[in-house]
Amino acid sequence: MAVAAKLFELKQISSGTAAALAGTDRVRFLLALHRVGVAAIDLSEDELRSWRLCGFA
């Protein structure tokens, strides 16, 4: 899990590939990322601001 999470965090592999590497499905992988200190969603301040302007936050 830790290796898959790190590669996902570094944007070297997709969440689906990371999940397969970790031996689980994508949803469970994404939900487990917090256990190894990796964010499932990584938005920059500009991206977050754009979402807010669209009424999503």
Q: What is the pLDDT of residues 3-56, one digit of tens each?
A: 999 999 999 999 999 999 999 999 999 999 999 999 998 888 888 888 888 887
Range of the structural domain that residue 40 is part of: 2-53
- Identify the pLDDT of residue 32: 98
- pTM beyond 0.85: the answer is no
Tell me how many domains the chain contains: 1
**Exposed/middle/buried for 26, CB within 10 Å: 0-12, 13-18, 19+?**
middle
Q: What is the DSSP string of 9-42?
A: HTTSS-HHHHHHHHTS-HHHHHHHGGGGT--S--
